Structure 1
Amino acid sequence: MADSRLSDYDVFLFRQGRHYRLYERLGSFPEEDGTCFALWAPNAREVSVLCDSNGWTPGIAPLNLREDGSGIWEGTVSGISIGDLYKYGIKTDSGEWLQKGDPMARRWETPPRSASMVWNVDHEWTDREWMESRGKRLPLDGPWSVYEIHLGSWKRRDGSFLSYREIAPLLADHVVQAGFTAVEFLPVMEHPFYGSWGYQVLGYFAPSGRYGSPEDLMYLVDYLHSRGIAVILDWVPSHFPSDAHGLARFDGTALYEHPDSRRGYHPQWTSCIFDYGRHEVRSFLISSAVFWLDMYHADGLRVDGVASMLYLDYCRERGEWEPNRYGGRENLEAVSFLRELNSEISRSFPDVVTVAEESTDWPRVTGPAHLGGLGFSMKWDMGWMHDTLSYFSRDPIHRPWHHEEITFGLWYAFSERFVLPVSHDEVVYGKRSLLSKMPGDQWRKKANLRLLLALMFVHPGKKLLFMGCEIGQWREWDHEVELDWALLDDPSHRGILRLVSDLNRLYREEEALSRDFDPDGFRWIDCSDRGQSVFAMMRPSGPRPVVGVFNCTPIPRTGYRIGLPSGGRWLELCNTDSNDYGGSGVGNMGGVSADEVACHGMSFSVEMVLPPLGAVILAPETSLSDGRR
């Protein structure tokens, strides 16, 4: 066709499942004499563009079906330009007319309205220096500390959403103050139901209009980059909602979803599951991932629901799922898709990260795809999260009987490249806020929270903390209201934020703490003091080692001896019981001196004070590499 945007090679790649930039070929493209449309709907009998200028009437602005068997409809429609709303009228094989939004639309109406919008994204980026250096700024083995945020409920103005532009300086200031190196946005892709938090996506190539235009989101990313903050976007290839204007039964058939309901319907989320074995669907999804990295300069994608993709029996009882061709429960097509996804991202964007939310023991999630792994950069450590929160929710009197909830995670800590996630899922739906989970009175709850945060930052693994946890939010997360920022009028809550800031600073500055994926980067000093609920660990790599000692009871302990690798002065880098953090001020007067007394298999040791429900983080006053002791 004369007005076609697709070459024969584009069509070939699309049908092979290897066209990774479909957004350059399918969708709507404004031109001088109208707008060019291209849509995949192979089982449609007719396709029309519906808009205001034709009264939303089918048949007035028809598209033409390519004759190459691709199922792509094309055409240029006059009288429709940038900013105009449209849908596709699709006549099914049964003669029914459907009204569908454009799967490739760059912008949609703000829900509950559901039309697509002709748009030509135009933003002049200013982050060239960031983009050229981000691999060096945030290497995979560097200090990734992620602040997870839901845009609609982080901060509001008189109960209304802030726009992407309005939130940019406020968010950047807070993230810099708290010391995080990256933000992770819950899905910003357009979704019809706000209460899904973005996890029921329909606009796989469009940001949510609730917070502004595509250019506004680009401004937010650009601004965060200017402040040295990386941006990770939550991305959802695991399922999509069944709204009538969306992807479900798009041309009257199961086009994007698997035709077998045992594989194409998600019973837990009442949504549709993509057909990962269909080549065109793979092109669609991988193009979506590439789109956000390419057009929006995202520095990483957190892939939601990976476990639900990997297993055919996920959330299904016996008889509700069909085994694969080998008789197993693995979704072979989804495994292949994830490998292809990560391989393409690694090839085209070698300095970005992909992070899997994967809650099982699937092997080698972060192993190279070409060597049989899934190819992710990192994986959420859901086991660490579950065990650690379980331990800290217990009254200290019961903790000696659950000592292994802290120690067990180190048995597998280096089997993958892990992120330690305290995410949105842990502070909602009756699970209570992180602070409210802690046992005891208000003082003990805050002390326990400070202790947990310190343990998280000394433990191997990248860090992720959901918004509100850093200020000691009492109320569990509610997406309908902003965080309780007034808590920062209370010195004890300001102290929690100050502790997070100091822990993030140590994580950035002490090289030993960010060597999270190196088995030689961790050593237990003592993990056996069950009776006193004390843990002592060391991060030995780097210019100087860092030691963390954690007293998980409200009993102060004096004269507590731990082994150390060297003598001399050891500085108290952090004490979570400091008055500055809202604690009681029990500590070691800024440091301790190690003597040549063997303990815990080391030649030196020190007697120290352990504050109640407190952590003490130590490092030698001088680098061990300079020869001084």
Structure 2
Amino acid sequence: MDLYDQAKKRLLQKGQSLRDFASGSLYYGFHRAKGGWTYREWAPNATAMHLIGDFNGWDRSAHPMTQLEDGDWELFVPGEMPHGSLVKVQVTANGRDFDRIPLYANRVVQDPTTGAFDAVIWAPKRAYRWHDKEFLRKKTTPPLVYECHIGMATEEEGIGSYAQFTKNILPRIQKEGYNTIQLMAIMEHPYYGSFGYQVSNFFAASSKYGTPEELKKLIDTAHSMGITVLLDLIHSHAVRNTSEGINCFDGTEYQFFHAGAKGDHPAWGTKLFDYGKDRVLHFLLSNIRYWMEEYHFDGFRFDGVTSMLYHHHGLGVAFDSYDKYFSMDTDVDAVTYLQLANQLIHEIDPAALTVAEDMSGMPGTALPVRDGGLGFDYRLSMGVPDFWINTLKTQRDEQWDMGRMWYELTTRRPKEKNIGYCESHDQALVGDKTIIFWLADQEMYWHMDKASQSIVIDRAIALHKMIRLVSFSLAGEGYLNFMGNEFGHPEWIDFPREGNNWSYKYARRQWSLADNGLLRYGDLLAFDTAMLGTLSGNRIFGRPAQLCLLDQDRKLLCYQKGNYLFICNFHPTQGQNAQFDLPAAGTYTQVLSTDDVRFGGFDELCGPAPQTATQGENNTLQWVLPPRTAVVLRKKGGR
């Protein structure tokens, strides 16, 4: 906290806010001026700089820049620089010349023939007109996050567009009941197969999917549907490329990054920011303000927080004691940056949403800065998908540990809110498996049609729903899903690469599998939609979970949240009569069943089992469940 206070005193002039400080995009880069354009850069090691582009015939001597103080450079270009002009900056440093993409370029494109990247003067005559003034995300609304990759959000074997996503996918997301989308791979990245996690140009929305205006329309349309839009923010590292990135922009490796081996991520092959430098803080904080104000993003999911927090980047470390959180291995400069970033975001928009992707479990990550925390609103429950995958990989169904399940789904840092999930894009990538693939494996290719009979698929369908239900209700104060996983998308994600002959076959999502009515994917989609529709608006999140019954031998797990009872029978072969004391007297009615025929079940609950249960003489409840079935009951008169 002392370092945080010192940083604010050092960075902010008297009366200045963090928002005032984070104004880099308003000063640097290209800006219209009276009679022409002003262009500015920060390159402290450069000895000369020249603007080149098709507007001046790529003449390397026509537009020299003037050196100012503190490593800044400036140029006034009289007249017009046409919209769409391609530009670069020639930097002279260390006795040689090299071409670079301007640091604050807001559009970067790749030549389809040569593969080279250029910045673009993006100045359409008509600025995008926003229509989301009335959109306000209530802070009390729990986020139901749909992870999205624009390029993959198409059935075609190619790269999807912002426009296609707006037209085809946003209505689907709204219909399914998700109220938040997390847009991945938006910040410009040269290698499509990096999933957007090797950013080259921090102020440019990826041109792979369309224009800036088309991205703005996507966000504007989402807002009109009541959908919050988060940006997957990559401030943990940057691509090491020099020709199209910020690495060695002024001829030094330490302009933005640590010098030497400290500046190289040993596992990712990327460059690591030096958060102890004020100009690096200025660049990154300005980047945050830019995305919020220029594109109206409602918040961020911060990627790679573990890598930022520790000098060892969390590699090969088991965080099994508090000594490992607060030690010489902690990057206190990164801690300060994350605090500043969260303060800035909530200063710009008090209702903004920030989520930390941290697998270490750093205490205080999702506590306010004023209380000594990092300031995030939520942290991801990253241990939950690990628990599920490990269970499916290593244990037979009859070995599942109900106590361990309860512990993993309910244990988290006090007073810190979590986004719960059972799988995300991480589990869908090549090299891992989604839950449906762990459950069904190759049977998915032969027996997912409704006319087919397969006990493997029956088991997979049943457990897929149960795993989602208990994760949704127990693992956090919000929920997350990667697109397609809700209906058990059958393919892993494999981006075009030399090893697959540059194919897009596995870098797409096939919603038609869930829509055609003949396959069981539609049953899973129907359940996911019903689960969100039944529970999301009914004060499930944020309520404490009260354990009612845990029976390891019979594989029963029953618990209460608010006015809802969750009764789960994980036994693989035996029906069970769940009997337990009611947490509150009243009449309880079934509102959701994983065994509903609409969801690919067998409707056995519609037989002898009662549809309404009332507390008995000893205030107990009984409910009969078939194997691998869960039900949700609601107390009469409750929400």
- Please give the alpha-carbon distance, in whole angstroms, between the structure 2 residues aligned to 1:88 and 1:226: 40
Aligned to 1:243: 241
- Please give the alpha-carbon distance, in whole angstroms, between the structure 1 residues aligned to 2:610 and 2:76: 73
Aligned residue identity for 1:478: D
Deviation at 1:499, TM superposition (A): 0.8
SS at match of 1:211: coil
- Please give the alpha-carbon distance, in whole angstroms, between the structure 1 residues aligned to 2:342 and 2:556: 41
SS at match of 1:473: coil
Aligned to 2:529: 501
1:434 and 1:473 in contact (8 A); partners too = no
Aligned residue identity for 1:126: H
- Please give the alpha-carbon distance, in whole angstroms, between the structure 2 residues aligned to 1:211 and 1:181: 23
- Please give the alpha-carbon distance, in whole angstroms, between the structure 2 residues aligned to 1:218 and 1:402: 46
Aligned to 1:472: 488
Which residue among 578, 596, 601 is the counterpart of 2:596? 578
- Please give the alpha-carbon distance, in whole angstroms, between the structure 1 residues aligned to 2:394 and 2:315: 32
TM-score (ref. length: structure 2): 0.86
Query: Where in structure 2 are the equivalents of 1:328-477 lying within 5 Å?
Result: 328-393=328-393, 396-401=396-401, 403-412=403-412, 414-421=414-421, 422-438=423-439, 441-461=456-476, 462-477=478-493
2:548 and 2:560 in contact (8 A); partners too = yes
1:577 and 1:612 in contact (8 A); partners too = no
Which residue among 195, 198, 201 is the counterpart of 1:197? 195
**CA separation of 1:437 and 1:413: change in aligned 2, threshold 3 A:** farther
Deviation at 1:233, TM superposition (A): 0.9
Aligned to 1:29: 31
Q: Deviations over 1:115-171 (max 9, x none)?
A: 1111136210011111xx32x2xx2x43311111111112144x3333212220211
1:396 and 1:553 in contact (8 A); partners too = no
- Please give the alpha-carbon distance, in whole angstroms, between the structure 2 residues aligned to 1:125 and 1:160: 30
Deviation at 1:482, TM superposition (A): 1.8
Deviation at 1:110, TM superposition (A): 3.6
**CA separation of 1:475 and 1:403: change in aligned 2, threshold 3 A:** farther
Aligned to 2:90: 89
Aligned to 1:483: 509
**CA separation of 1:11 and 1:102: change in aligned 2, threshold 3 A:** farther
Out of 24-33 and 493-502, give the one that drifted further: 24-33
Aligned to 1:535: 557
Deviation at 1:560, TM superposition (A): 2.1
- Please give the alpha-carbon distance, in whole angstroms, between the structure 2 residues aligned to 1:427 and 1:317: 23
**CA separation of 1:382 and 1:415: change in aligned 2, threshold 3 A:** farther
1:29 and 1:118 in contact (8 A); partners too = no
Deviation at 1:415, TM superposition (A): 4.9
Q: Does 1:277 align with 2:295?
A: no
Q: Percent identity?
A: 26
Out of 83-92 and 112-121, give the one that drifted further: 112-121
**Which segments of 5 or more consecutive residues in structure 1 lack a partner in the other structure?**
1-8, 599-603, 625-629
**CA separation of 1:590 and 1:34: change in aligned 2, threshold 3 A:** farther
Aligned to 2:81: 80
- Please give the alpha-carbon distance, in whole angstroms, between the structure 2 residues aligned to 1:230 and 1:300: 8
**CA separation of 1:11 and 1:385: change in aligned 2, threshold 3 A:** closer
- Please give the alpha-carbon distance, in whole angstroms, between the structure 2 residues aligned to 1:302 and 1:555: 41
Q: Deviations over 1:532-571 (max 9, x none)?
A: 222111113xxxx111112122234243212213445311
- Please give the alpha-carbon distance, in whole angstroms, between the structure 2 residues aligned to 1:317 and 1:550: 36
Deviation at 1:370, TM superposition (A): 2.6
Aligned to 2:131: 126
Deviation at 1:293, TM superposition (A): 1.2
- Please give the alpha-carbon distance, in whole angstroms, between the structure 1 residues aligned to 2:46 and 2:170: 47
Aligned to 2:7: none
SS at match of 1:228: coil
Aligned residue identity for 1:235: L
Deviation at 1:485, TM superposition (A): 2.5
Q: Deviations over 1:280-333 (max 9, x none)?
A: 110110111111111111111000000000001126689xxxx99x97111011
- Please give the alpha-carbon distance, in whole angstroms, between the structure 2 residues aligned to 1:314 and 1:436: 30
SS at match of 1:547: strand
Aligned to 1:219: 217
Q: Deviations over 1:12-59 (max 9, x none)?
A: 799x99721211111012446332100000110001101124343433
Deviation at 1:622, TM superposition (A): 2.2
Deviation at 1:356, TM superposition (A): 0.4
Query: Where in structure 2 are the equivalents of 1:540-619 lying within 5 Å?
Result: 540=562, 545-587=563-605, 591-598=611-618, 604-619=619-634
Query: Where in structure 2 are the equivalents of 1:173-322 lying within 5 Å?
Result: 173-245=171-243, 246-314=245-313
- Please give the alpha-carbon distance, in whole angstroms, between the structure 2 residues aligned to 1:174 and 1:40: 44
Q: Deviations over 1:357-411 (max 9, x none)?
A: 0000211001111322100110011112211332345554443457414423423
SS at match of 1:456: helix
Aligned residue identity for 1:555: T
TM-score (ref. length: structure 1): 0.88
Aligned residue identity for 2:412: Y
- Please give the alpha-carbon distance, in whole angstroms, between the structure 1 residues aligned to 2:432 and 2:327: 38
1:388 and 1:406 in contact (8 A); partners too = no
Q: Does 1:63 align with 2:65?
A: yes
**Which segments of 5 or more consecutive residues in structure 2 lack a partner in the other structure?**
1-9, 318-322, 441-454, 496-503
- Please give the alpha-carbon distance, in whole angstroms, between the structure 2 residues aligned to 1:619 and 1:54: 71
SS at match of 1:509: coil
2:19 and 2:289 in contact (8 A); partners too = no
Q: Does 1:525 align with 2:528?
A: no
SS at match of 2:359: coil
**CA separation of 1:400 and 1:449: change in aligned 2, threshold 3 A:** closer
Across the aligned residues of Structure 1 and Structure 2, the Cα RMSD in angstroms comes to 2.6
SS at match of 1:160: coil
SS at match of 1:129: coil
